[in-house]
Amino acid sequence: MSEERSGASILVESLVKQGVEFVFGYPGGAVLPIYDALFGDERLRHILVRHEAGAAHAAEGYARSTGKPGIVLVTSGPGATNAITGIADAYMDSIPMVVITGQVPTGLIGSDAFQEADTVGISRHCTKHNYLVKDPADLAAIVDEAFQIATTGRPGPVLIDIPKDVQIAMATWSDGPIQRKQRYSPRTEGTPDEIARAVAMLANAKAPVFYTGGGVINSGPRATALLRELQAKTGAAVTSTLMGLGAFPADHADWLGMLGMHGTFEANMAMNQADLIVCVGARFDDRVTGRLDAFAPNSEKIHIDIDRASINKTVPVDLPIIGDCATVLDQMLAEWGTRKGQDLTGWKARIDGWRERKSLAYPANAEAIMPQLAIERLYELTKSKAPVISTEVGQHQMWAAQYFPFFKPNKWLTSGGLGTMGYGLPAAIGAQCGNPDSLVIDIAGDASIQMNIQELGTATQYRLPVKVFILNNEWMGMVRQWQELTYESRYSNSYSDSLPDFVKLAEAYGWKGIRIENESELDAGIQAMIDHPGPVIVDCLVHKETNCFPMIPSGAAHTDMILYGDSVAGTMDDEAKALV
């Protein structure tokens, strides 16, 4: 059926056709025709955020926790520029997102009109693709292609900038199938020769490691299942980046934990001493490699990634395989067949020796709650509910990654590549929208939570039972730690003076507020948070000057970790170095 519709109406119909459930947005003059088209339409649920940055991060949280693309709708000028940080965050972490921005009328573009910004130009370097729509007749095809680009290949954000006059203008809308132009067709399979060579290398390896990243999770549940199956056949050790946590179960005997700057001793040592590294859906970023000339110097490297640009970008590899993680892992399993790998007994004994370092053991403190303990107790009291965990950015983020185990994908939402403070609360809101029956907890710091704290109102309005668990040490903790270790304890502007009373703030927004001041109150406070049916802020007062270890100092090799108990001035102690 064909009929005349406004551009705004065509946009709404196109979103419905794509199966969109939620739109995270904030209205303004340049998108009022779209908001008018949304009025009374119960097929789409619009979530009114309090800031456009919150809309982008909420869409990220929704996408990361559901596997579906997140949708953002904001106005022109400041609406679009406020969303840019969230768009850049999604681009860095490969999160599928379609962002719709209003624009001034076509005839005013370039005239410095009220609330005009060059949104296409500004977003060019942090989107997979962007569009400036000039004809409402093109809208249906553009929306269809935008969703295809955002969700296939390496996922990421796509932006559609729609001038106000295009939203008002009329065009023919048809609910029939759209004839796609095949402009985007990413490679998904490895060649037979590549797969055969990869399997031969894996079968001959005596010290192999699977190095896995967020690409495994982005590829979907089939990829995580195939990773576990291939690991079972090969017996290789498995480590993960910050973004890949949950792709492999944390209680598995061959799980090494997270690697990199705040990774475990055993993960970084295994990567250094491996004879074969199979990188699956990760990108050898600087937080993983440390000093490049010292990274895994004696290993062969296979890199499986759907993004051709990520291969050989920072670390040269011996065998690149461009393809989708699930597809390539399936090909490798088929090629492996019934063959046997090498005896890995000696390799696993070495790994056990590194594990004996107990690199995540932390000192006790009778005077204050240790933040690591707070995370451990949060896990123990919530694990039966398999919660979705988001984080802000800082020490609390790393402690959550270290001490809160994950066993399934899509349960861990954090800002990895961009490291965006203020991510966690709106991401939790988006996740709660997509997972209404799940327990969703934002693990936060007292500084980061204030970056988008206005989104408490969003949770209140939509009766979203989000929980915020603040590790309050009265500092910008990670900044303070770097200043202690690198700048001779010159704490330049890292103390969070004049903090709000988070309990009263929670109550002001209609949330429940809980304060935990000592270890004896910890379990009861967490349980009260879990039991409350609505949104809760827990202000957990933790030891103020605890540092986050293990840690690879800036510019150091990934074997030069500072562990708990090492001197601040040094790196690894002699015993640790002897194990390399």
DSSP code per residue over 263-308: --HHHHHHHHH-SEEEEES----HHHHBSGGGSSTT-EEEEEES-G
Whether 360 is in a domain gets the answer no
Closest Cα partner for 335 from 224, 234, 195, 232?
A: 195
| Domain CATH number, residue 294 | 3.40.50.1220
User: By residue range, what is the domain housing residue 83?
Assistant: 2-174
279 and 226 co-located in one domain: yes
Q: Which two tokens stand for residue 74?
A: 């904001």
Whether 70 is in a domain gets the answer yes
* Preceding peptide of 316 cis, ω within 30°: no
Active site residue 52: yes
Question: How many whole angstroms separate alpha carbon 471 and alpha carbon 226?
Answer: 36
Element (H, E) at 286: helix 286-289
DSSP string, 412-479: EE---SS--TT-HHHHHHHHHHH-TTS-EEEEEETTGGGGGGGGHHHHHHTT---EEEEEE-SB-HHH
Question: How many whole angstroms separate alpha carbon 433 and alpha carbon 466?
Answer: 10
Element (H, E) at 42: none
Active site residue 478: yes
Question: How many whole angstroms separate alpha carbon 391 and alpha carbon 84?
Answer: 20
Question: How many whole angstroms separate alpha carbon 159 and alpha carbon 129?
Answer: 7
pLDDT value at position 185? 87
What is the identity of the amino acid at 545? E
- Of the three residues 355, 389, 423, the one that is the final residue of a domain is 355
The catalytic residue among 92, 269, 478, 551 is 478
Supply φ then ψ for residue 80, to 5 degrees: -70, -45
Question: How many whole angstroms separate alpha carbon 362 and alpha carbon 347?
Answer: 27
For tokens 């000057």, the residue is: 545
Whether 453 is in a domain gets the answer yes
532 and 401 co-located in one domain: yes
Show Cβ contacts of residue 274 under 8 Å, excluding neighbours closer than 6 positions: 205, 207, 208, 209, 296, 299
25 and 152 co-located in one domain: yes
Question: How many whole angstroms separate alpha carbon 555 and alpha carbon 273?
Answer: 20
Whether 69 is in a domain gets the answer yes
The catalytic residue among 164, 301, 411, 467 is 164
Active site residue 331: no
Whether 461 is in a domain gets the answer yes
83 and 200 co-located in one domain: no
425 and 341 co-located in one domain: no
Closest Cα partner for 409 from 198, 222, 162?
A: 222
Q: Which two tokens stand for residue 481?
A: 């730690």
Would you say 320 and 303 are in contact if contact means Cβ atoms under 8 Å apart?
yes
Active site residue 114: yes
pLDDT value at position 567? 52
Angle between helices 345-355 and 265-273 (to 10 degrees): 140
Do β-strands 170-174 and 2-6 pair in parallel, antiparallel, or remain unpaired?
antiparallel
91 and 208 co-located in one domain: no
305 and 351 co-located in one domain: yes
DSSP 3-state of 123: helix
pLDDT value at position 178? 86
Would you say 369 and 522 are in contact if contact means Cβ atoms under 8 Å apart?
yes
Q: Which two tokens stand for residue 36?
A: 């008018």
Residues making up the chain, counted from first to last: 580
Whether 567 is in a domain gets the answer no
DSSP 3-state of 45: strand
Q: Which two tokens stand for residue 261?
A: 């700057």
- Of the three residues 174, 207, 230, the one that is the final residue of a domain is 174
107 and 216 co-located in one domain: no
For tokens 């001197």, the residue is: 567
Element (H, E) at 14: helix 7-17
Q: Which two tokens stand for residue 77?
A: 């000028």
Whether 302 is in a domain gets the answer yes
Q: Count how many Cα atoms sit within 13 Å of the Cα of residue 32 in the half-sphere of its side chain.
A: 5
Would you say 205 and 348 are in contact if contact means Cβ atoms under 8 Å apart?
no
The angle formed by the CA atoms of residues 547, 64 and 250, to the nearest 5 degrees, is: 55
256 and 292 co-located in one domain: yes
C-alpha distances (whole Å) from 495 to each of 86, 468, 486, 551 are 26, 21, 17, 22
pLDDT value at position 182? 78
Q: Which two tokens stand for residue 191?
A: 């060649």
First and final C-alpha spacing in the chain: 69
Whether 186 is in a domain gets the answer no
Each residue's pLDDT expressed in tens, for the chain with a length of 580 residues: 689 999 999 999 999 999 999 999 999 999 999 999 999 999 999 999 999 999 999 999 999 999 999 999 999 999 999 999 999 999 999 999 999 999 999 999 999 999 999 999 999 999 999 999 999 999 999 999 999 999 999 999 999 999 999 999 999 999 888 888 778 889 999 999 999 999 999 999 999 999 999 999 999 999 999 999 999 999 999 999 999 999 999 999 999 999 999 999 999 999 999 999 999 999 999 989 999 999 999 999 999 999 999 999 999 999 999 999 999 999 999 999 999 999 999 999 999 999 999 999 999 998 999 999 999 999 999 999 999 999 999 999 999 999 999 999 999 999 999 999 999 999 999 999 999 999 999 999 999 999 999 999 999 999 999 999 999 999 999 999 999 999 999 999 998 788 999 999 999 999 999 999 999 999 999 999 999 999 999 999 999 999 999 999 988 998 899 998 875 444 444 554 444 4
Strand 97-103: give its sheet, edge to edge.
45-48, 22-26, 70-74, 97-103, 157-163, 129-132
The catalytic residue among 114, 170, 383, 527 is 114
Q: 570: how many CB neighbours lie within 10 A of its CB?
A: 11
Closest Cα partner for 109 from 101, 117, 98?
A: 117
325 and 240 co-located in one domain: yes
323 and 234 co-located in one domain: yes
Q: Which two tokens stand for residue 405?
A: 């185990």
Rounded-to-10 torsion of CA 386, 388, 393, 399? 0
pLDDT value at position 497? 80
Would you say 468 and 493 are in contact if contact means Cβ atoms under 8 Å apart?
no
Question: How many whole angstroms separate alpha carbon 358 and alpha carbon 362?
Answer: 9
10 and 158 co-located in one domain: yes
The catalytic residue among 13, 52, 266, 335 is 52
Question: How many whole angstroms separate alpha carbon 428 and alpha carbon 439?
Answer: 10
| Number of structural domains in the chain | 3
DSSP string, 241-261: -GGGTTSS-TTSTTEEEE-ST
| Domain CATH number, residue 136 | 3.40.50.970
Q: In sequence order, what are the beta bridge partners of 230?
A: none
For the chain, counts of helices (H) and of strands (E): 22, 20
